């Protein structure tokens, strides 16, 4: 399979980038501003891949229909944007993977449910946006993962057929979207998996424990 892979597409939070420290700090800042105790990092980390709504549900125990929910979510995202790359880094070994992809004449891109007004400043801060062949954010199209449309749009942006792409993610919706788009898929077990997640049942092409394991699929 590996000789066919021309483009590697990555989910962002929990796959390409370790964004949990900055998102956890944002949630705890909002909790403390609203008179609530901070949560331990270990409780927040698994929820990070599921976005701001999931973080507010975790921190405040509120349903999205609650009148305080949306103001708190906006407060969270405002704080996060102001500190978007304080501690966020590529996962260890991912820089080597990106270098290999580029040096081998292949391409890489990002398909995330994170909105563009957060995705682009984050990638800019880490000097990654100029290197990505294509970026599809959660608001690029009307559809978001698990719908396959964002992945298919990424294929158009990078000029690679879906069958020659590999999608790497850390959530079931990533693997579902990749399947429906006709791509090989890898689960990033180093990402933000919930305790109840059973990635071995998601039907991915393979599960990987570190970014370096990706190289076996593209060499």
Tell me: the pLDDT tens digits for 40-79? Answer: 999 999 999 999 999 999 999 999 999 999 999 999 999 9
Domain carrying residue 121? 2-18+88-218
Q: Which residues have a catalytic role annotated?
A: 11
Same domain, 103 and 186: yes
- In this prediction, residue 199 carries a pLDDT of 98
Neighbours of 36 (CB within 10 A): 14
Which of 39, 63, 82 terminates a domain? The answer is 82
Q: Is residue 185 within 8 Å of 167, Cβ to Cβ?
A: yes
Q: Is residue 214 within 8 Å of 93, Cβ to Cβ?
A: no
Which of 55, 82, 109 terminates a domain? The answer is 82
- In this prediction, residue 2 carries a pLDDT of 45
| d(C-alpha 107, C-alpha 156), whole Å | 13
Give percent of the chain above pLDDT 70. 99
Reported as a single tens digit per residue, the pLDDT across 131-172 is: 999 999 999 999 999 999 999 999 999 999 999 999 999 999
Q: Could you tell me the pTM of the whole model?
A: 0.96
Same domain, 202 and 109: yes
Q: How many domains is the chain built from? A: 2
């Amino acid at each position: 399979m590996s000789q066919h892979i021309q483009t590697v597409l990555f989910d962002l939070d929990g796959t390409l980038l370790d964004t949990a420290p900055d998102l956890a700090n944002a949630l705890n800042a909002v909790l403390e501003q609203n008179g609530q105790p901070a949560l331990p990092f270990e409780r927040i980390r698994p929820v990070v891949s599921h976005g701001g709504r999931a973080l507010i549900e975790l921190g405040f125990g509120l349903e999205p229909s609650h009148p305080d929910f949306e103001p708190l979510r906006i407060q969270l995202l405002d704080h996060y944007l102001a500190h978007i790359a304080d501690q966020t880094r590529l996962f260890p070994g991912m820089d080597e993977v990106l270098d290999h992809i580029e040096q081998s004449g292949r391409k890489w891109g990002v398909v995330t449910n994170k909105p563009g007004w957060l995705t682009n400043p984050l990638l800019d801060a880490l000097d990654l946006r100029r290197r990505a062949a294509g970026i599809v954010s959660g608001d690029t199209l009307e559809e978001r993962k698990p719908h396959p449309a964002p992945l298919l749009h990424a294929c158009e942006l990078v000029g690679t057929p879906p069958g020659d792409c590999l999608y790497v993610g850390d959530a079931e919706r990533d693997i579902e979207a990749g399947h429906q788009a006709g791509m090989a898929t890898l689960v990033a077990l180093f990402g933000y998996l919930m305790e109840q997640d059973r990635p071995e049942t998601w039907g991915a092409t393979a599960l990987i424990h570190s970014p370096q394991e990706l190289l076996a699929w593209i060499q």
